[in-house]
């Protein structure tokens, strides 16, 4: 479903994050848009109304929807992200263990035992929403958000992993932290993660983190 959201915005409802990323890729290939932003169940398209009338923009978007999907972003390099789980790096792992009835080792093995895909980027700059978690991770956000969550923190909420590229307030259940630099202001693409990327988590110990 295509919905007009303002003078220069359309929103397209889709079924899955993979559909959103495929449509966003198709739109990038076939149109001159100011922004194309894939989400979990929608794609937002921003156009320049001084260059393109709304009805022509909607026709171009409809054509992209009807076209053969662009090549999936499933193919590509797999990014392995090292993580220290629990302790001062993951202060909510013990509580998650009590809530689920699983040991910390079982939770870590489950989280680090699969390949995932970044569903979308949002909330704060570079913050990655990653789907595909086991049902044991379907827990609510914390009742009281923290005023500061360190960059690199790995959070769990509602069956998703959230990666904090920057330090910020947040209410996700923090189970670990990565020493991997998710934000580099000097790089051409400052944020390492993007929608559609494949990721896997690797458990490391605190000494590896410090080194």
Q: What is the pLDDT of residues 136-172, one digit of tens each?
A: 898 999 999 999 999 999 999 988 999 999 999 999 9
Q: Which of 123, 118, 121, 132 is CA-nearest to residue 81?
A: 118
Round to the nearest angstrom and report the end-to-end CA distance of the chain: 50
Tokens 């909330």, residue located = 123
Specify the domain boundaries for CATH 3.30.1360.40 within the chain.
2-66
Say what percent of the chain tops pLDDT 70.
96
Computed from CA positions of residues 35, 37, 43, 44, in that sequence, does the dihedral angle turn out positive or negative? negative
Specify the domain boundaries for CATH 2.40.100.10 within the chain.
78-210
Q: Which of 178, 103, 100, 166 is CA-nearest to residue 136?
A: 100
The correct CATH number of 78-210 out of 2.30.40.10, 2.40.100.10, 1.10.10.1100, 3.30.420.40 is: 2.40.100.10
Q: pLDDT per residue over 27-83, tens digit each?
A: 888 888 988 888 888 889 998 888 888 888 888 888 888 886 655 544 557 899 999
Per-residue confidence (pLDDT) for residue 128, from 0 to 100: 94
Q: What is the CATH number of domain 2-66?
A: 3.30.1360.40
CA 104/CA 83 separation, integer angstroms:
14
Strand blocks (E) in the chain: 2-6, 9-13, 35-38, 42-46, 78-85, 115-121, 128-131, 146-149, 153-157, 160-163, 168-170, 173-177, 198-204
């Amino acid at each position: 479903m295509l919905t007009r959201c303002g003078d220069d915005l359309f929103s397209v409802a889709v079924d899955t994050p993979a559909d959103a990323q495929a449509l966003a890729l198709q739109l990038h290939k076939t149109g001159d848009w100011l922004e194309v932003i894939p989400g979990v169940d929608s794609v937002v398209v921003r156009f320049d109304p001084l260059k393109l009338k709304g009805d022509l923009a909607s026709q171009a978007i409809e054509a992209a929807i009807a076209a053969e999907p662009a090549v999936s972003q499933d193919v590509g390099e797999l990014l392995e992200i090292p993580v220290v789980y629990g302790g001062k790096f993951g202060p909510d792992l013990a509580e998650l263990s009590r809530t689920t009835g699983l040991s910390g080792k079982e939770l870590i093995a489950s989280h680090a035992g699969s390949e995932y895909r970044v569903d979308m980027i949002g909330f704060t700059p570079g913050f990655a929403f990653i789907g595909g978690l086991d049902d044991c991770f379907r827990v609510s956000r914390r009742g009281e958000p923290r005023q500061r969550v360190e960059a690199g923190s790995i959070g769990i909420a509602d069956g998703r992993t959230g990666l904090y590229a920057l330090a910020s307030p947040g209410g996700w259940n923090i189970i670990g932290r990565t020493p991997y630099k998710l934000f580099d202001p000097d790089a051409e693409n400052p944020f390492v993660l993007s929608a559609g990327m494949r990721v896997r988590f690797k458990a490391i110990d605190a000494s590896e983190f410090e080194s």
